[in-house]
Amino acid sequence: MRRNALLGLTATILLGWTALAAQRAASAVYDSERQIRLEGVVTRVDWVNPRAFFFVDVRDGDVVANWAVEFGNPIELERNRWKRSTLRIGDIVIVDATPARDVTRQVLARSVVHKATGKRLFELPAARPRASLKLPPPRWPDGQIRLGPPAGQKGYWGAASVKGLVESKAASVRMNDEGLLMDLSEVDRVAPFQPWAKAVYLHRQRTRLKDDPIARCMPPGGPRQFMRPNGFQFIEQRELGRILVLMGGGNRNWRVIYTDGRPQGQAAEVVLSFFGNSVGRWDKDVLVVDSIGYNERFWFTNGGLPHTEALHLVERFSRPNLDILRYEVTVDDPRTYTRPWTGGWTVQWVPGEEIEEYFCEENAESTFIR
Amino acid sequence: MRRSVVLLICSLSGLASATTLAQEGHPLTGTWSGDWGSGPSKRTHVTMVMAWDGKTVTGTINPGPDAVAVQSITLDVTTWTIRFEADGKDSAGMPVHIAAEGRVEDIASAHRTISGTWRQGTTKADFKLTRD
């Protein structure tokens, strides 16, 4: 009960801060059971993706200590009309924040107030549901669905409707923005785990995803590439018989789906990789992609579902209207799961915008925190 | 000075390579190396390779000309305890039975370890293996 309450609190704190958790699990870094208030002078502003920081000198008697304050993802902040110049070196601010779990002088800001004016800074408004006109999906001249923008326009695929992959028949399993289960007793509804896989998944959950390879800037292979905060886009090179998937987050990775009719490779012979060997074909309005050849160096979803080199994915992409991409994936890894299982989600179209530069390496290491 | 710099570069390279090659699949799969022995000065190097086929963990101790096939490997995931047995040869070439029991530590880490008790013939010793 207490654990559920704490997880609920964590989820509340993290609500609206999805992008903050872009490269590492905030739950692993910050201790949501504690809150502190800092007041000090801004000495530096790092307005960089994926996580913006400013630094404040906090005086305690004759001692001055420099603290790092994480306060959001610049892309999200800019969308909400905050700018790098909103905060200036020399400003005095009052910060209510969640401190780091370790002794590092690092906090995750819950609110930042400009002391001189009393103005609250960097407050993200609650997400507003977008009105959908339910325009038909764009099509190529031959009638095939376009996965990118309508001709002459721009846009990309943005937020996923879920934060973790769960077997469809489980209906809903409650988890936070990082894929942490609200209630670990629901683990058996997530996927049909083999015993070792369930134990590994629970270990990752209990340790708050602290060993997530994505925190070391490893690529988000598998379904995870479609649930990252900064979206993705499809570049359909029909004349070359391939579709490129360009990812907005992480390391701006790209993946190739071959649609030139080539057969899938032999599992024992393909070079193992983060994005696997993918061949796709159109089944009426659905792109069906078969992928094998994954290495074991990544977690294929938020939340830490395990897999082995035997992972075989069948993904189905459809676009019922302009604004929605429906993604469904069947996971077949007999070394990890007792049977194949299917899950999925929808992704929202972001019209008229381009994916922004966003490099995991920018401030992935903690050594820049003094 | 020059030697220190070289050592530092080698250490950093090794660290980077270990991080890059981390494996996240079945906790036992992969190559493990370390040693066993009854004291700090009596250590014997061991390389052990294990694989998971979905039903069984298989393994080989010291792959190569002196390879020993592991007869059985079990993993209790509730305690992360591994037990394995093999029939090998001692330094004189005589048959010897190996039975080991250890605990897998820090299973989600790229640098997880197994440490515990190693029995080889009548010798009882400790061992520690680290996943490469």
Q: Write out chain B residues lying below 8 Å of A211, CB-based.
A: 108-110
Give the containing element (helix H, strand E) for B2: helix B2-20
The pLDDT of A335-351, averaged and rounded, is 96
Cβ-based neighbours of A200, under 8 Å, separated by 6 or more: A304, A306, B27, B107, B108
- Residue A252 — very low, low, confident or very high, per pLDDT cuts 50/70/90? confident
Secondary structure of residue B9 in the 3-state scheme: helix
B95 with B110: CB under 8 angstroms?
no
> Beta partners for A96?
A37, A111
Residue contact B24–A195, C-beta within 8 A = no
What pLDDT was estimated at residue A232?
95
Secondary structure of residue B77 in the 3-state scheme: coil
The pLDDT of A24-49, averaged and rounded, is 86
Window A:272-301, CB contacts with B under 8 Å: 296-299
The pLDDT of A151-164, averaged and rounded, is 92
> Beta partners for A22?
none
B100 with B115: CB under 8 angstroms?
no
Which of A117-131, A198-212, A312-326, B10-24 has maximum average pLDDT? A312-326
Alpha carbons A111 and A360: distance in angstroms, whole number? 25
Cβ-based neighbours of A267, under 8 Å, separated by 6 or more: A292, A293, A310, A312
Measure in Å the smallest separation between the Cα of B19 and chain A Cα atoms.
8
Residue of chain A whose alpha carbon sits nearest to that of B111: A211
Query: How many CB atoms within 10 Å of residue A155?
Result: 20
- Please determine, for residue A359, whether its predicted confidence score (pLDDT) is greater than 90: no
Q: What interface predicted TM-score (ipTM) does this complex get? A: 0.79
What pLDDT was estimated at residue A102?
84
The pLDDT of B32-57, averaged and rounded, is 94
What pLDDT was estimated at residue A214?
87
Amino acid letter for position B121:
G
What predicted TM-score, i.e. pTM, was given to this entire model? 0.79
- Residue A128 — very low, low, confident or very high, per pLDDT cuts 50/70/90? low
- Please determine, for residue A20, whether its predicted confidence score (pLDDT) is greater than 70: no
Place of tokens 């080199």: A309
- Please determine, for residue B123, whether its predicted confidence score (pLDDT) is greater than 60: yes
Best of B15, B20, B26 to substitute, by most chain A Cβ atoms within 10 angstroms, is B26
**B23 lies within 8 A of chain A by CB:** yes
- Residue B3 — very low, low, confident or very high, per pLDDT cuts 50/70/90? low
Cβ-based neighbours of A186, under 8 Å, separated by 6 or more: A173, A174
The pLDDT of A250-279, averaged and rounded, is 91
- Please determine, for residue A105, whether its predicted confidence score (pLDDT) is greater than 50: yes
- Residue B4 — very low, low, confident or very high, per pLDDT cuts 50/70/90? low
- Please determine, for residue B6, whether its predicted confidence score (pLDDT) is greater than 90: no
Alpha carbons A153 and A353: distance in angstroms, whole number? 9
Residue contact B25–A306, C-beta within 8 A = yes
The pLDDT of A110-128, averaged and rounded, is 78
R_g (Cα) of chain A, nearest Å: 22
What pLDDT was estimated at residue B90?
84
DSSP 8-state assignment for residue B121: T
Burial tier of A320 (Cβ tally within 10 Å: 0-12, 13-18, 19+) = middle
- Please determine, for residue A168, whether its predicted confidence score (pLDDT) is greater than 80: yes
- Residue A131 — very low, low, confident or very high, per pLDDT cuts 50/70/90? low
- Residue A361 — very low, low, confident or very high, per pLDDT cuts 50/70/90? low
Which of A171-185, B8-22, B53-67 has maximum average pLDDT? B53-67
Residues A134-156: pLDDT tens digits?
A: 899 999 999 999 999 999 999 99
> Beta partners for B65?
none
Residues B86-99: pLDDT tens digits?
A: 999 887 889 999 99
- Residue A75 — very low, low, confident or very high, per pLDDT cuts 50/70/90? confident
- Please determine, for residue B17, whether its predicted confidence score (pLDDT) is greater than 90: no
Give me the domains of chain B, ranges plus CATH numbers.
24-131 (2.40.128)
Alpha carbons B6 and B21: distance in angstroms, whole number? 22
Query: How many CB atoms within 10 Å of residue A316?
Result: 16
Output the 3-class SS for chain A. Answer: CHHHHHHHHHHHHHCCCHHHHCCCCHHHHECCCCCEEEEEEEEEEECCCCCEEEEEEEEECCEEEEEEEEEECHHHHHHCCCCHHHCCCCCEEEEEEEEECCCCCEEEEEEEEECCCCCEECCCCCCCCCCCCCCCCCECCCCCECCCCCCCCCEEEEEECCCCCCCHHHCCCCECCCCCECCHHHHHHHCCECHHHHHHHHHHHHCCCCCCHHHHCCCCCHHHHHCCCCCEEEEEEHHHCEEEEEECCCCCCEEEEECCCCCCCCCCCCCCECCCEEEEEEECCEEEEEEECECCCCCCCCCCCCCCCCCEEEEEEEEEECCEEEEEEEEECCCCECCCEEEEEEEEEEECCCCCCCCHHHHCCHHHCC
- Residue B106 — very low, low, confident or very high, per pLDDT cuts 50/70/90? confident
Alpha carbons A118 and A146: distance in angstroms, whole number? 49
Higher per-residue pLDDT: A75 or B78: B78
Higher per-residue pLDDT: A264 or A364: A264
Alpha carbons A249 and A14: distance in angstroms, whole number? 19
- Residue A276 — very low, low, confident or very high, per pLDDT cuts 50/70/90? very high
Q: Pull the structure tokens for residue A253.
A: 């990775």
Window A:299-358, CB contacts with B under 8 Å: 299, 306-310, 334-336
What pLDDT was estimated at residue A2?
43
A248 with A356: CB under 8 angstroms?
yes
Amino acid letter for position A253:
N
Q: What's the distance, CA A97 to chain centroid?
A: 22
Amino acid letter for position A345:
W
Secondary structure of residue B45 in the 3-state scheme: strand
What pLDDT was estimated at residue B74?
97
Residue contact B107–A203, C-beta within 8 A = yes
Which of A116-120, A192-196, A265-269 has maximum average pLDDT? A192-196
Residue contact A196–B77, C-beta within 8 A = yes
Alpha carbons A266 and A289: distance in angstroms, whole number? 16
Instruction: Name the residue among A283, A284, A350 with its Cα closest to residue A314.
Output: A283
A280 with A257: CB under 8 angstroms?
yes
Alpha carbons B123 and A37: distance in angstroms, whole number? 60
Alpha carbons A354 and A156: distance in angstroms, whole number? 7
